[in-house]
Amino acid sequence: MGSTKAQHAKEKNMTLFKQIALMLSLFLIIILTTVLKLNFQSAEDSVKERLYEDAKNTATSLSLSLGSANGDVSMMSTMINANFDSGTYSKITLVDVEDAPLYERKQENQISDVPQWFLNFISLKAPIASANVSAGWSQVGILNVQSDSSYAYTHLYTILKSLLISFSIIATIGLIILNLLLHAILRPLKGVQKQAAAVIENEFIIQDKIPYTKEFKDVVLGMNNMVTKVKAMFDKGNEELKQHKEQEYMDKDTGLRNRKYLIDRLPEYLKVDSLSKDGVSMIVALSGMIEANEKLGRRDVDKLFSELASIFRNPARAYKNSIVARMNGTEFALLLPNCTKDDAIELANNIYRESTVLIKDYNLNDEETFISIGVYNYNHLDTIPQLLSQSDNALAQAKFNKVHIHLEESKSAVEVMGKEAWKMIINQAINKNRLTFASWKVINTKSKQLAHNFLSINLALDKNTSYSYAKFMAPAIQAGLSCDIHKKIVNMLLKNPNMVLSSSTYALRLPEEYLDMKETYDDFSKLLSSSGGALPFKLIIELPDKMVRQDSKYIKMYTKLFKDYNIDIGIFEFIGESDDYQYLQDLKPAYIKAESTYFLTQSTQSASALKLIADSLSISLIALGVTEMKTLEELQKKGIHTVQGILTEEIKI
């Protein structure tokens, strides 16, 4: 059964070149074999005829000599012996008219230098030639002569060897010429095959050499036309998305990011496995702009805003991954990960002082035109609406106090246990194999099919107590154990793949801090090499868009490694922030995952451009955090049908 499948697969994968070459080679070999057989048959007939002619000539000449003996048997035997010894004969006999033997001389055939298989293959019997022996007018007897066939076997064997050598040389030369001709004729098809394979790999190759053969010429031109159109689709989508990115994410007056950019980036900070557990959201509002516009005019007010933006931007640089955005005409937001409330108050005071000085420099009354700063000390467990609402509340309070600065603190962070307790539990879970997999469905709602299963992790404390990824991952990051956890689950997945009891498709998300280490790449290489990549399911590794678009030094290494072992790549935390989307063509991801809010707030032009790129590269777009049917319906109107979230557990497939 296995052999049949293997043979079927081999036949299925046989190229056109091999099929034509095999057919023509067989045809050539059949023709050469037929010609060889006919040549050898002709040589065999010629040898048989030669044996008879030799015997006939000997019988004729010897019978004349025997006639001079006048019937003297002793004299005739002497003549027969002389002829026998000087020639190659198998037998010479002399009988009287009544067929009674008068004299006989014979010898056994001794065949040397001829293999037995040839003797078995060729049946060669020398014919007997006869002649009358007369003394005058009276008949003495009849002379029978049979030639020795041993030399005929040797001669035929020599002929066969010569034929085989010559025909082998002819066949070899013919096959070489045939191979060269086929390569020359089918070279355009190889180019087409390379083009097709490149399209599958999201690469665009144009054939410059157009073949002369009409059929091949039409195919090559058709492929070139198709590839050109697909490349044009990608280039158009890439350019449009870059242009709309500037429009959607930038405030043209100040050069800062805008409200949409902040909203699209917030999920990266408000998640359980965020690198920053907490931080500060600061809203700065400028009051008295009506009076400022009347006194300065629109142009100088815009200049004022630009200089205020520099004041906000400078202190934010001290915080990694900070965001400064203009929320509307008079409000600005600063998101400062890992900023403490004490540092935030000091920073707010500095901003207030510098801004007040700037306002006075524009000859504005600082009692009419002033800034208010609302500071909210957020926690990673906050939702986006909570963070924005609390930040607005802090700003409202700031507007009505004397210092125009107000701090609000998050009340949502309630620790179930201390940092050291968590650290001990997580270390035990890693060492005692208490981490288990859980999966969530990712569904194509249009086809009602499972796209893949998204793998999550649970921590089993004992038989009755377990913690979900959302519960234990934040304290794990604070304890510096995130990379240890991901190293453990990668080992579990690749060393013990049967722990996932399905032959479906599974996606595993890995964070940047774990991937951006040489040790991680080396571990992956060893694990895949030892297992041969033989997994009972299809595996997709999800990489963060931020790491991918920055062209991390390990991305190309991971891409090649995963491709070698038939592991697909997915992208998560996509917000279309790149300056060039060529990296999508280079990476060839199976899909892009983004928050549902990102897709829903995209402009029509930006959404169309992203869809154009995705379609040209065969990339699926997947919306995350889908919890309500209303959200799903809005996504479907936008052309996004594959979703991940709580709602997928309710969808029947």
Exposure class string for 563-584: b at 16+ Cβ within 10 A, else e: eebebbbbbbbbbbebeebebb
Question: Taking the complete model, does pTM exceed 0.75, yes or no?
Answer: no
Mean pLDDT (the chain, rounded): 84
- Structure token digits, residue 430: 């890693």
Question: What is 419-650's CATH topology?
Answer: TIM Barrel (3.20.20)
Q: Shortest CA distance to 513 belongs to which of 645, 320, 372?
A: 320
Domain ranges (residues) in the chain: 2-172, 257-409, 419-650
Cβ atoms of 391 and 281 within 8 Å: the answer is: yes
Range among 106-110, 133-137, 345-349 with highest mean pLDDT value: 345-349
Q: Shortest CA distance to 436 belongs to which of 495, 499, 484, 497?
A: 499
pLDDT band at 541 (very low <50, low <70, confident <90, very high): very high
- Structure token digits, residue 223: 């492929």
pLDDT of residue 392 exceeding 70: yes
Q: Residue 413 has what pLDDT?
A: 47
Q: Residue 2 has what pLDDT?
A: 37
Residue whose token pair is 């008949």: 139
Q: CA-to-CA distance for 112 and 157, rounded, in angstroms?
A: 11
DSSP state of 250: B
CATH superfamily of 257-409: Reverse transcriptase/Diguanylate cyclase domain (3.30.70.270)
Which distant-in-sequence residues (6+ apart) come within 8 Å of 315 by Cβ?
347, 350, 351
Range among 74-78, 436-440, 624-628 with highest mean pLDDT value: 624-628
- Residue 135, CA distances (Å) to 71, 435, 446 in order: 7, 120, 115
Nearest-10 Cα torsion for 52, 55, 59, 65? 150
Angle of CA points 501, 503, 506, to nearest 5°: 85
pLDDT band at 199 (very low <50, low <70, confident <90, very high): low
Q: Lowest mean pLDDT of 94-103, 322-331, 341-350, name the range.
A: 94-103
| DSSP-based three-state secondary structure for 372 | strand
- Alpha-helix runs per DSSP H in 68-213: 73-86, 116-121, 150-200
